[in-house]
Amino acid sequence: MLTEGSMMAQKSILHQGKPAIWPLPDSCRWHDGSLQLPDLLTICCDDSLVQETELFRKAMTEFGITVRPGSRNAVISARIVHHDGIGREGYVLEVLPSGISLEANTGTGIFYAFQTLTQLISNSEGRSIQLVNITDSPFKPMRGVHLYVPSKANLPWFRRFLDFLSKFKFNAIFLEMGASMRFDRHPEINLAWEVFCKEMLVYPGGPDSNHWGDDGMQMRTGHIKDSVHIENGGGSCIEKHELAEIVQLCAERHIEIIPEVQGLSHAYWMLLAHKDCAERPDDPYPDTWCPSNPESYQIYFDCLQEIVDVMKPATVSLGHDEYYSIGLCGRCREKTGHDLFAGDILKCHAWLRERGIRTHVWADKFFNLVKKDEVEIGMGSGGGKHLSFNLRTGRNELVKPTYRALDRMPADILLSDWYYSIGLLTQDMFCDRGLSLLFGNFNPDFFMDMEARLRRPNVVGAEVSIWHETSDTGLSMTDNLTKYLTAVNILWNKDYDFRARDQYNCVISQIYPCERDKMNGVVPPSAISGSFCFIDISAFFNSPMNRGSDFSSFTQENRVPNTIPFDFHIPAYLLVGHEEQEQAIIGISGSFRSIAFLHSYTAALPGPSAHACTYVGWEEDIVGSYVIGYADGTSEQLLLEYARNIYAIGTAYAFGAHRANPAYRRRVLAEHEEQLATSRKSVLAETNFTLFGYEWVNPHPEKHINSVTVRHHPEKPGSIALFAITGIK
């Protein structure tokens, strides 16, 4: 738990105007005085650190700083030396009046020291860095994300995304492969995958269904099926040389890339072209292969070998989650689910072990969650014996249990538990067997007793999953970028404290916009100018802060440099819509390169699904507009698109909008906050408030602006809540 001293150290980082360092370091001692960086930074480093230094050099070009090799009198010194207590990823960073010193036990540690130094520079005003001593190392050795392979069109974005991951000290990517790499031995698999993805985009009711009775492909076949993941590879595939480049970029950034080559279940990618290997031969879209058919493994290992040849991984994930069609065909009918599941994993494990590769699998089919008479009707039963209703036949089907396969798992296997929200002891059953575990689909908002469970000795870390396309759109759905920044602080920061998450969220909200712009290759006027003008709109306010959703608990934090400030001190706001007037004309005066709006919408409308495993896009939903009026009588219109540039004030998961950024976040807890932090309850007992900032770029910066008209769509149920406007000169 967080000591009083470390809590005070964190508060100093979060509240006293210090440069933001994220995730929070172990020890950070600030001193009076500063170091003024020159335009030319000379650096002296060990010969083995050329790669790390080169990436730092590239990062500094963003700030107009040139980095060159120098002598022992260089401004920056980077050395590998022995330090007790910081491990292979830890580092010691000192900013002194005479220069900057980076020390670590490994190149990985030096790399992370450079990432912290980059944050110090980017989050300090000008080029003056306050003197500081930092000693830092991670809480957990695996800090990962789960992604689909990006489409060809999104590869440039993905390269910048890797910079984001490494900057914030993620070190693992579980990359779902499927048919997203072009195969030489089995081109028919790629072809069948592309045809399938196109069919699913127009399939009646869509490809995925998340509730019984929904009209989609998964339900039309009758039996319970896996989601289809058609965004993987953009519904197509990338070339081997493109995948090899991704692997190289990850290696340079000290990120382990773990290919997830799903087998047994979630095997649409392979079975669409080889339906004779399916457990259900009559299924037009089979998702599960027959583990008693030798041809299943011949084809799978052919594909796996091609992936291994390109990626040269230390670990391969077999997937194996959500295995439902068990022991149905003639070959398998007399076998137990335990034997089928264990036999399949052991066969794949042996193949990988021969090549010096570790095996990873998802862990849900190792849980026996059946509670009554050893049979439970439902979908959430893990590896327990249960019944599944077949909508096509109108009868229940028995899903054979698989949980006893755990007793046959080899000691070196790595497991991912995504059932942690169902029980408190999920990690202990693996610990008792000496098996390493990470929490998959990691989401602190669903995690009970998180701090204690992460400290179990067999828990090596966690990974945050995105089950949408790997792009800015996919990242913004369900506020994934905020989840990333939250999760990495939990996994890196040994002293993470549940009680301080309001403070953490305030910092994340201000880091978020700048980092997202970088990923998108966007340089908005606010990032160039730095000349901000608060536009006083208080005369137009018509609603007190404590009306409806109570905003009176919002507090203004110290602004992180390079983000847009808002004048957010006035205890009222403008409400335009059904709750007040349908239009408001705000008089302003000035010429601006862009205008930033701090706003939210008072009603929650249908938007991106919280868990739609296939969601390529969503329909445009206009809730209103801002009409910017120029002095010459012309105007420009900014449409307010729900889930794109404006979003609901309070949502269960604090979603982010596609193009807007969470500017202020506030979580109002239930009573007895400290008890909640250590109880078995999920943090969903909170009420979430989010205000979004959106920067509109003026197409006519030379024109004088004299008004902004706020208009609400008369057929929409909520209202536009406008809190502040900032002009960027």
State pLDDT tens for residues 546-579.
665 556 556 555 566 667 888 876 678 899 998 7
- CATH assignment of 142-496? 3.20.20.80
Give 241's pLDDT tier (boundaries 50, 70, 90): very high
pLDDT at 683: 39
Range from 74-83, 492-501, 610-619 carrying the lowest mean pLDDT: 610-619
pLDDT at 124: 86
Arithmetic mean of pLDDT, 509-531: 85
Please determine, for residue 503, whether its predicted confidence score (pLDDT) is greater than 70.
yes
Determine contact, residues 465/145, Cβ cutoff 8 Å.
yes
pLDDT at 468: 84
Determine contact, residues 458/427, Cβ cutoff 8 Å.
yes
Please determine, for residue 174, whether its predicted confidence score (pLDDT) is greater than 60.
yes
CB atoms within 10 A of CB 146: 22
pLDDT at 669: 42
Please determine, for residue 377, whether its predicted confidence score (pLDDT) is greater than 60.
no
Q: Who's near 278: CB < 8 A, 6+ residues apart? A: 271, 286, 288, 289, 290
Please determine, for residue 681, whether its predicted confidence score (pLDDT) is greater than 60.
no
Report d(CA 147, CA 260) in Å as an integer: 9
Please determine, for residue 169, whether its predicted confidence score (pLDDT) is greater than 90.
yes
Report d(CA 199, CA 216) in Å as an integer: 12
Determine contact, residues 612/477, Cβ cutoff 8 Å.
no
| Chain length of the chain | 729
Q: How far is CA 340 from the centre of its chain?
A: 34
Report d(CA 161, CA 152) in Å as an integer: 14
- Produce one character per residue of 701-728: b if its CB has 16 or more CB atoms within 10 Å, e if not: eebebeebbbbbbeebebbbbbbbbbbb
CB atoms within 10 A of CB 507: 22
- What's the pLDDT tens digit per position in 609-642? 544 444 544 557 899 999 999 999 999 999 998 8
What is the residue-averaged pLDDT of the chain? 86
Class in CATH terms, 4-136? alpha beta
pLDDT at 504: 83
Please determine, for residue 360, whether its predicted confidence score (pLDDT) is greater than 50.
yes
Rounded to the nearest 10 degrees, what angle do helices 155-167 and 107-122 cross at?
100
Is the model more confident about 421 or about 360? 360
Q: Is the dihedral of CA 192, 194, 197, 203 positive or negative?
A: negative
pLDDT at 525: 92
pLDDT at 651: 63
Please determine, for residue 2, whether its predicted confidence score (pLDDT) is greater than 50.
no
Tokens of 81: 């030396």
Q: Where are the beta strands (DSSP E) in 270-337?
A: 315-319
- What's the pLDDT tens digit per position in 178-196? 999 999 999 999 999 999 9
Q: CA Rg, the chain, in Å?
A: 27
Is the model more confident about 64 or about 700? 700
Q: To which H or E segment does residue 184 belong? A: none
pLDDT at 9: 43
Q: How far is CA 375 from CA 16, 419, 427, in A?
A: 57, 19, 24
Q: Who's near 282: CB < 8 A, 6+ residues apart? A: none
Give 209's pLDDT tier (boundaries 50, 70, 90): low
Query: Which residue ranges make up each domain of the chain?
Result: 4-136, 142-496, 508-728
Give the DSSP letter of residue 240.
Answer: H
pLDDT at 381: 67
Q: Who's near 393: CB < 8 A, 6+ residues apart? A: 222
Report d(CA 23, CA 51) in Å as an integer: 23
Percent of the chain with pLDDT over 70: 85
Determine contact, residues 519/161, Cβ cutoff 8 Å.
yes
Question: Whole-model pTM above 0.75?
Answer: yes
- Produce one character per residue of 295-305: b if its CB has 16 or more CB atoms within 10 Å, e if not: ebbebbbebbe
Please determine, for residue 671, whether its predicted confidence score (pLDDT) is greater than 50.
no
Beta-strand pair 594-601/622-630: unpaired
Please determine, for residue 684, whether its predicted confidence score (pLDDT) is greater than 80.
no
Letter for the amino acid at 689? F
Q: Which residues pair with 259 in a beta bridge?
A: 175
pLDDT at 212: 41
Report d(CA 236, CA 491) in Å as an integer: 34
- What's the pLDDT tens digit per position in 14-30? 545 678 899 999 999 99
- What's the pLDDT tens digit per position in 313-346? 999 999 999 999 999 999 999 999 999 999 999 9
